[in-house]
Amino acid sequence: MQSTMLLHELPLRAAHDAPSAPALTYQGQTLAYGALAQAIERFAAGLVRLGVARGERVGVYLEKRFEFVIAAFGAMRAGAVFVPVNPLLKGEQVGYILRDCNVRALVTSAERLAAVAAALPACHDLRQVVVCGDGAAEPVPQQVVCWPEMQAAAPSAGHRVIDTDMVSILYTSGSTGKPKGVVLSHRNMVAGAKSVAQYLENRPDDTLLAALPLSFDAGFSQLTTAFHAGARVVLLNYLLPKDVLNALVRERVTGLTAVPPLWIQLTQLAWPSTVTEHLRYIANTGGRMPLETLKKLRAALPRTKPYLMYGLTEAFRATYLPPEQADIRPDSIGKAIPNSEILVLREDGTPCAPNEPGELVQRGALVGMGYWNDAEKTAERYKPLPGREGGLVLAEIAVFSGDTVRADEEGYLYFIGRRDEMIKTSGYRVSPTEVEEVVYGTQRVAECAAFGVPHPSLGQAIVVVATARDGEPLTEAQLLADCRERLPIYMLPARVVVRDGPLPRNPNGKIDRKLLAGEFGAAFEKTQ
């Protein structure tokens, strides 16, 4: 492979090598690489014809479907910047993103346009709305272009870009404050695709199931790693975990990446024995998988390799645990992915000793370009790496994650917690994931979340919210008694709440601790 590639060249190269090979499957229809490449080229030409300039932003507000992928890679091919907008977001949230990064053209469906139309008059930089699918388009101030018009343009050269130019802005979700736009370059995302495909051993005969949102870095990575390998991606907009399991069987999926809440739900289903015949690997991202969940998956999928991963949107991907280590150190997030380095540093920038907690810092080709239009937040996370100056005129910039980890004597990393989620109680710093691990270990709960709420004498009190397994009784007193047997006094929850599931998710499918903390914090204070 050539040493330098642009992100949109991944599917175009795959099309050159094997034009009839399947690239995408959606609702029973499959698009070959050759047809995908032609659609990408035409969409890119359509954007240029609309006057979209180099580096201008193109938003895509769609569920997973062929048009999403074509618009994303077509925007890159035109020399523009692709901005995926999570389809779960509502009108005003979508409008905020479009205004924040000055989106020039928006790709959506007639149905979604109706939902977001009220927010579009305030989007002063938006000039065109490209509408795909059936249905009449909602009247909006912008020029409305139908999808077939974008596919009617003859392929032409896009604007010139190089691998250090920005290619995408991924907005991080947050239940408090506004989301931040992480700017990534072609180099960042191509390096990520190559690295992930390398350790997952992706190959042309793979079929990957895209269950995660494509606006989520790990979700979009399913496309980039598959296109790097010339593999097939099945696009799935699921309503229930059972839909995911059915798709695995129906499409004979070889690789599935998911977040812990989905894995927890999937372990409550009966997996057909035939799945393990074709499901070559599973991968976890977006938080630590509970040990009990991993054990159940290992039992259900004895021939499937488990990859435990950790990633930063700010650097696309970060670490993975090789499958052969899953039974030896199942609570580890592994080591740095290929072509990347992970450091564990103290606040003064010096390296931590083995098993000493410190901040995870990542360096290398995957480190992003910063936060869109936010110099202050960029300076907090993207900083010169101490001790790496080496006489260079420009200091090396690394991404400081804000996550606390430790590395053992062999260099394997263990996640402790996010600095902004660590619970400070009675003078101790408590990791919510450590409390959750104990609760899962009781084997009484379907899912749970631990968080801190304000307390007049403790600083913060620990609250645990849990849901019962299907058909099994669960009481708060019972769960609290289990915690007393397993946790030191300073880590004991001050309150345990059992509620109907599932627990609330943020747009990326992770359990939303901050939302729960806000909900229960005020109620807890009233009882004190």
pLDDT one-digit tens code per residue, 440-466: 989 899 999 999 888 876 778 999 999
pLDDT of residue 417: 79
pLDDT of residue 510: 83
- Which region, left, alpha or beta, applies to residue 325 given φ > 0 means left and ψ of -120 to 50 means alpha? alpha
Same domain? 429 vs 285:
no
Confidence of residue 176 (pLDDT cuts 50, 70, 90): very low
Same domain? 263 vs 123:
no
Confidence of residue 144 (pLDDT cuts 50, 70, 90): very high
User: Rounded distance, CA 278 to CA 255, Å?
Assistant: 9
Confidence of residue 487 (pLDDT cuts 50, 70, 90): confident
Same domain? 408 vs 314:
yes
Bigger pLDDT: 16 vs 514: 16
CATH of the domain at 147: 3.40.50.980
Confidence of residue 135 (pLDDT cuts 50, 70, 90): confident
pLDDT of residue 173: 60
Does residue 199 lie within any of the structural domains?
Answer: no
Does residue 385 lie within any of the structural domains?
Answer: yes
Same domain? 487 vs 343:
no
Bigger pLDDT: 507 vs 272: 272
Q: Do 492 and 455 form a contact (C-beta atoms < 8 A)? A: no
Same domain? 286 vs 171:
no
pLDDT of residue 460: 85
Show the DSSP H helices in 50-105 as ranges. Answer: 66-77, 91-100
Show the DSSP H helices in 168-274 as ranges. Answer: 186-199, 217-229, 241-250, 260-266
Same domain? 449 vs 395:
no
Q: Do 80 and 101 form a contact (C-beta atoms < 8 A)? A: no
Same domain? 379 vs 497:
no
pLDDT of residue 391: 65
- Indicate the average pLDDT of the chain: 90
Does residue 189 lie within any of the structural domains?
Answer: no
pLDDT in tens, 404-441: 999 999 999 998 877 777 788 876 778 888 899 889 98
Does residue 4 lie within any of the structural domains?
Answer: no
pLDDT in tens, 377-395: 899 999 998 876 566 667 8
Q: Do 213 and 238 form a contact (C-beta atoms < 8 A)? A: no
Mean pLDDT within 481-485: 91
**HEC states along 300-322?**
HCCCCEEEEEECCHHHCCCEEEC
Does residue 522 lie within any of the structural domains?
Answer: yes
Half-sphere exposure of 175 (CA within 13 A, CB side): 17
The pLDDT > 70 percentage for the chain reads: 95
Question: Could you please report the per-residue DSSP string of 379-428?
Answer: HHHEEEPTT--TT-SSPPEEEEEEEEEEE-TT--EEEEEETTT-EEETTE
Same domain? 133 vs 280:
no
Query: How many structural domains does the chain have?
Result: 3
Same domain? 64 vs 160:
yes
Q: Name the one residue in this structure whose structure tokens are 């490209």.
A: 130
CB atoms within 10 A of CB 424: 12
Same domain? 151 vs 273:
no
Same domain? 55 vs 166:
yes
CB atoms within 10 A of CB 249: 14
Final residue of a structural domain among 371, 401, 417? 417
Please, what's the b/e burial string for 336-354 (b: 16 or more CB within 10 A of its CB; e: otherwise)?
A: bbeebebbbbeeebeebee
For residue 77, give both structure tokens.
């091919």
Give me the torsion for CA of 131, 136, 138, 139, rounded to 10°.
Answer: 100
- Which region, left, alpha or beta, applies to residue 402 given φ > 0 means left and ψ of -120 to 50 means alpha? left
pLDDT of residue 526: 55
pLDDT of residue 175: 37
User: Rounded distance, CA 319 to CA 423, Å?
Assistant: 25
Per DSSP (E only), the strands in 66-211 are 81-84, 103-109, 128-132, 143-146, 166-171, 181-185, 207-210
Same domain? 426 vs 340:
no
Q: Do 197 and 324 form a contact (C-beta atoms < 8 A)? A: no
Confidence of residue 1 (pLDDT cuts 50, 70, 90): very low
pLDDT of residue 284: 93
Range of the structural domain that residue 27 is part of: 9-184
pTM here?
0.84
